[in-house]
Structure 1
Amino acid sequence: MLDSFYTAFIEEQRYLLYLDGLKMTILVSVIAIIIGVVLGTLLALMRLTAEQKGKSTLLSKIAYVYIDIIRGTPTLTQLMIMYFVILKGQSGLLVGSLTFGLNSAAYVAEIIRAGIQAVDQGQMEGGRSLGLSYVQTMKDIILPQAIKNILPALGNEFIVLVKETSILGYVAIVDLTKVSDFVISRIFEALAPLLGTALIYYVIVKFLTLGLNALERRLRQSDRR
């Protein structure tokens, strides 16, 4: 087993390939979650306009259709459409980041919408009765309370996103999983490259999980004060 790991990671400095793949995985994940949070927040607010006005609006319908389509189709299919049709010939980083960002936005939107709806309706009514506009009430009263419900779920979404990027190799984007495929084809052995890759993903996810657990403890402590 040690010889297999030496061949898969050390021989011919193959660990450099894994570092390059890891860099692609992390970059795509970080950029995608930023896109997802920004767009997801916008989509959530678009859907919430229907509740504000008591009926469906054009913005809420657009947001609903977008979320419905993204959540109803496989991520791999979205990635292939983006790579082979919409962004044909563009860099793998752009294709991966945009695909997963747009995909994540649909889920983030529902997370944020649920977090906002969990805040007592009286908070909005109280803010409006004080003369604040809808936007001011949302920014100064609702969102600071909703963030406690949103952050843990958002952290879980980021963890899922990191693992989902393993499909980037299907469109020849050299991420961590694709590097393991390349090494397997060079050394004609699958166990060490796959176990090593799985271990790297596990360490990343474990690190994120510990950070998320620490955040949740902080939020629970602030609730007791």
Structure 2
Amino acid sequence: MGETDTRKRGGEAAARDGLVTDERVKWAGVAVSVAFTLAIVGFIALVLLEYVDYGLLFAVVPRFVEAFVRVLRVVVISSVLAVTAGVFVGLGRVSRTSVTHAIATAYVQFFRGTPLLFQLFIIYLGIPSLWPPGEFPVGNWSFATAVIALTLNHAAYVGEAVKGGINAVPAGQMEAARSLGMSYVDSMREIILPQAWRNALAAIGNDQVILVKDTSLLTVIAFPEILTVFREINSNQFDPWTPIVLVAITYLAITLPLMRLVQYLEDRAEWGTQG
């Protein structure tokens, strides 16, 4: 009886193996991919042909260009500051000094553990309340809030990426550098960090793309970014699809070149295994 069951199960397995072959799985994947692509292209074509008011679209392009420039300024400044600060946060996370390590860890845990929206409210509403009414010295506080909040938030993520990159470098390299008489700072700067940067580059680049998309939250602090323009046009024209097209184009105009830049830097750093 046991031998019969074994043969039966073996026959069923062989039948399944005959149905699920590499070739069939490949073509099933191709079919699903093509069907999904056709569905997306069809939906986009339907929207562009039936729901977009091209007269309105061309009329509001200048407003989106202005929002694009404003967002790009915030992104460039915040990205540079976040990456720079993140390197120091990452160094603090691997520091052997307990105080430095504890402060860096607390920083990362707070800014990764609370929503960016919450951090925006703290900076935008909380800090001005420390001054008497009407005496807050900063005029364009929404722009300053955007830069400060995005920098502080993303420096925590960059710091974790840098920490992972440093930890991925074999410990023997630091020991070898120190045995040659190099100081800890020189060893880190000349030996460890260049390799850590290559290890962390993909994660850092991905975080900068997320930073671009996080600018959509700035609408809650009255910063005239891309989605703010969308909301205003939709409220006045009761036409969501026309400005939505420009929202997509505007964000992609930032994120696609950024992703291409990251890929270029990865290639220059000889990312991955070389043949």
Partner of 1:110: 160
Aligned residue number for residue 66 of structure 1: 107
Aligned twin of 1:190:
240
* Structure 2 residue 203 is the aligned partner of structure 1 residue 203: no
| TM-score normalised by length of structure 1 | 0.89
Task: Quote the Cα distance in structure 2 between the aligned partners of 1:65 and 1:197.
Answer: 36
Alignment map for 1:107-186 (pairs within 5 Å): 107-186=157-236
Counterpart in the other structure of 2:74 = 28
Q: Does the CA-based 8 Å contact 2:75-2:211 persist in structure 1?
A: yes
Please say which of residues 213-222 and 131-140 is displaced more in the overlay. Answer: 213-222
User: Which residue of 56, 75, 85 corresponds with 1:8?
Assistant: 56
Structure 1: where are the runs of 5+ without partners?
Answer: none
Q: In structure 2, how many angstroms separate the alpha carbons of the residues matched to 1:171 and 1:127? A: 49
For the 8 Å contact 1:115–1:147, the answer to whether it is kept is: yes
CA RMSD, Structure 1 to Structure 2 (Å): 2.1
Could you tell me how far 1:212 is from its partner in structure 2?
A: 2.0
User: Does the 8 A contact of 1:29 with 1:162 survive in 2?
Assistant: yes
One-letter amino acid matched to 2:56: A
Which deviations, in whole Å up to 9, do the C-alpha atoms of 1:34-77 show, x marking residues without a partner?
A: 12112211111112113xx6xxx111101111110110101111
**What letter is aligned with 1:106?**
A
Deviation at 1:216, TM superposition (A): 2.2
- The counterpart of 1:84, out of the listed 121, 125, 128, is 125
Could you tell me whether the CA contact under 8 Å between 1:36 and 1:108 is conserved in 2?
A: yes
- In the alignment, the residues of structure 1 paired with residue 253 and residue 154 of structure 2 have an alpha-carbon distance, to the nearest angstrom, of 22
Greater C-alpha radius of gyration? 2
Q: Is the 8 A contact 1:35 1:98 kept in 2?
A: no
Residues 87, 95 of structure 1: 8 Å contact kept = no
Q: Is the 8 A contact 1:39 1:105 kept in 2?
A: yes
Q: 1:87-109: per-residue Cα shift (whole Å, max 9, x none)? A: 56642221101100000010010
What is the aligned residue count?
Answer: 218
Shift of 1:168: 0.5
Unmatched runs of 5 consecutive residues or more in structure 2: 1-47, 130-135
Structure with the greater relative contact order (CA < 8 A, sep ≥ 6): 1 or 2? 1
More displaced stretch, 214-223 vs 96-105: 214-223
Q: Which amino acid aligns with 2:85?
A: L
Amino acid at match of 2:54: Y
Cα distance, 1:128 vs. partner? 0.5
